[in-house]
Amino acid sequence: MATTVGTYASIPGAPSTGDIYFLTDSFYDVLHYNGASWDHFKDGKLLTPPNDAAFSWHNQGGASVSTVNGGVHLNVPAGTPLQVRGRIIAAPSTPYVITAAMLPTLPGSNYHGCGLFWLQSADGKIIELRVMGQSGGSLMAVSKEGVAHYVTLRTDILMSCPLVFFRIEDDGTNRKCHFSGDGINFVQIHSVSRTDYLTADYVGWCGIMSAATLDLGVTLIHWKQT
């Protein structure tokens, strides 16, 4: 077993089972080789790195992604009116649960946000589980984009830009939304019929922009479908 240190771009190509690799420039802290692949850890949590190649764009505009440092960093340039710019995949067959972890960089301005969403591609309808930066704090919300909120909760967990876990679920009857600060204990904040407002054929993750001068960034470091 070897323990080495280096950059994400220089991950050893011929490791042995049990090797440890500490990262100096990544959103992950340490990698462990399990004999078949590198396990990725952040803050002591085993994460599932997203495969950006499996996703396509929704409403890209001037947004861009980078995978240089591990995970997928999404940059959304300033612009109005409000836009949801993100990465999507076909919605799985029900029942399914998607859990994601993101590192957001959201200015405290109305209404920068990030999170997970369902999309009905025929007419562009979106439902989001998102956090939103505001001048007075931040909100966790489940929203019909551009129409109304199902629910909003005041939370200041994002002001220091920690790791935030989001979870969306479709059990074949209802859509459910959850969030967590530790990735272990999730709080369900909404449940509604899976066909209320839309019937999703895509799911995705996004940055939400509504400002003329301030960009936003969000890094997806965990995407797990069960």
Strands of the sheet with 30-33, listed across from one edge: 3-6, 20-23, 30-33, 38-42, 45-47
Residues 109 and 135: beta-carbon distance below 8 Å:
yes
Q: How long, in residues, is the chain?
A: 226
Please state, in angstroms and rounded to a whole number, the distance separating the CA atoms of residues 144 and 38: 38
Please state which CATH number belongs to domain 52-225.
2.60.120.200
pLDDT in tens, 169-206: 999 999 999 999 889 999 999 999 999 999 999 999 99
Q: How far are the Cα atoms of 41, 60, 100 from residue 226, in angstroms, in the given order?
A: 19, 27, 12
Q: Give me Rg for the CA atoms of the chain.
A: 18
184-157-204-48 Cα dihedral, nearest 10 degrees: -40
Which of the residue ranges 93-97, 98-102, 152-156 would you say has the lowest mean pLDDT? 152-156
pLDDT in tens, 46-56: 999 999 999 99
pTM for this predicted structure: 0.94
The full set of domain ranges for the chain reads: 3-47, 52-225
Task: Work out the pLDDT band at 136, boundaries 50, 70, 90.
Answer: low
Please state, in angstroms and rounded to a whole number, the distance separating the CA atoms of residues 211 and 108: 11
Q: How far are the Cα atoms of 7, 42, 76, 115 from residue 131, in angstroms, in the given order?
A: 31, 21, 15, 6
Token digits for 65? 């992604």
Contacts of 128 (CB under 8 A, 6+ apart): 84, 113, 115, 116, 117, 118, 141, 142, 143, 145, 206, 208
